[in-house]
């Protein structure tokens, strides 16, 4: 039997005691999305209970607490990335062996922001190789090749310093195929410290996936470009010309399509996707660093990669060697 009074008490206790410290603890532990799931689950339960409860005012109060709690978490998340440029540690005494830049759609200028950050970081760590990761859906080339061209043109970048990973279509792919590419090039054994460059909202999820896929032998720091979600940046975000993915993201905003609501919508989307969307792949087995199992799970079950026999052919020899070593 459900303990209704206990559930009521838990909601109120969480509402009264959820602080910035709680947020940081959940973020570091990778359970912030679980907190969101709890909020939605209890809100749905209260909505049903309201129809049969005699104390509708109490139910309404508890529902408002959950809504307020969700808003607080979103604000914590937004403010966090306004003031934190590095996730996973501080850059002092950190000298990366490789810089990995993650691609993305550029309709909001996010790819250009990432390219500028890669250019800036690459000057600081001039001895590090630079791997650009991203296949994407662009007509004029992969995200990795677009980043490479702009780095060479805008930063007089040495093309010999660049490694292009052009198979990934999402963050799991960014981490997985970057590792497999480095392994196939026989460069992985010389790498221990990795600096990943992405957008600020994406930094936590990127680090979680890279840390799990690369494993505990690697130190992973993630840096985002400067926080830039301003009204000017999003002046055309609600126009007809925005892409379908962004349209779906804010389809419920309607006339409330302003900078604050867009910012909150993106934050909520990222929190809910933080670990849950890729949990099936990153929780395989007891050990991190199991790229073989993750690869086959992606190929067998993920619609994005399920027909990519070109990728299977490219990395089969590397995967077979890993399996042989594991069996030994």
Q: What is the pLDDT of residue 276?
A: 56
Q: How far is Cα 45 from Cα 53, in angstroms, rounded to an integer?
A: 12
Q: What is the pLDDT of residue 280?
A: 57
Burial class of residue 287 in the structure, from the number of CB atoms within 10 Å of its CB (0-12 exposed, 13-18 middle, 19+ buried): exposed
Q: Average pLDDT per run of 10 along the chain, which is 328 residues long?
A: 85 96 84 86 93 90 95 88 78 92 83 92 93 88 94 89 95 94 95 94 84 90 74 42 49 59 74 62 58 85 89 88 58
Q: What is the pLDDT of residue 240?
A: 33
Q: What is the pLDDT of residue 207?
A: 87
Whose CA is closest to 96, among 194, 171, 228, 233?
Answer: 194
Q: Which CATH superfamily is domain 89-229+276-281 in?
A: HUPs (3.40.50.620)
pTM for this structure? Answer: 0.79
Q: How far is Cα 8 from Cα 13, in angstroms, rounded to an integer?
A: 9
Q: What is the pLDDT of residue 239?
A: 39
| Alpha-carbon distances, residue 213 vs 176, 246, 265, 312 (angstroms) | 6, 28, 28, 18
Q: What is the pLDDT of residue 252?
A: 55
């Amino acid at each position: 039997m459900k303990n209704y009074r206990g559930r009521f008490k838990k909601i109120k206790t969480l509402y009264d005691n959820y602080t910035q410290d709680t947020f940081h603890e959940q973020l570091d532990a990778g359970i912030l999305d679980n907190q969101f799931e709890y909020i939605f689950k209890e809100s749905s339960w209260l909505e049903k209970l309201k129809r049969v409860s005699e104390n509708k005012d109490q139910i309404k109060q508890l529902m408002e607490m959950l809504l307020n709690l969700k808003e607080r978490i979103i604000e914590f998340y937004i403010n966090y990335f306004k003031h934190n440029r590095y996730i996973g540690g501080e850059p002092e005494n950190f000298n990366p062996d490789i810089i990995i830049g993650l691609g993305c759609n550029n309709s909001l200028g996010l790819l250009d922001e990432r390219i500028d950050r890669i250019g800036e970081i690459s000057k600081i760590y001039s001895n590090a190789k630079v791997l650009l990761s991203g296949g994407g859906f662009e007509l004029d080339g992969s995200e990795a090749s677009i980043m490479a061209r702009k780095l060479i043109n805008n930063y007089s970048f040495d093309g010999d310093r660049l490694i292009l990973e052009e198979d990934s279509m999402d963050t799991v792919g960014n981490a997985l195929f970057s590792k497999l590419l480095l392994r196939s090039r026989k460069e992985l054994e010389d790498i221990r410290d990795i600096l990943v460059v992405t957008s600020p909202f994406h930094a936590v999820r990127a680090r979680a996936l890279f840390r799990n896929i690369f494993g505990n032998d690697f130190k992973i720091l993630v840096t985002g470009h400067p926080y830039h979600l301003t009204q000017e940046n999003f002046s055309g975000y609600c126009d007809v010309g925005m892409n379908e993915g962004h349209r779906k993201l804010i389809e419920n905003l309607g006339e409330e399509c302003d900078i604050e609501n867009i910012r909150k919508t993106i934050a909520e989307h990222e929190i809910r996707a933080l670990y849950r969307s890729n949990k099936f792949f990153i929780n395989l087995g007891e050990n991190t660093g199991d790229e073989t199992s993750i690869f086959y799970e992606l190929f067998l079950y993920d619609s994005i990669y399920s027909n990519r026999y070109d990728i299977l052919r490219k990395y089969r020899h590397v995967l077979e060697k890993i399996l042989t070593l594991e069996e030994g």
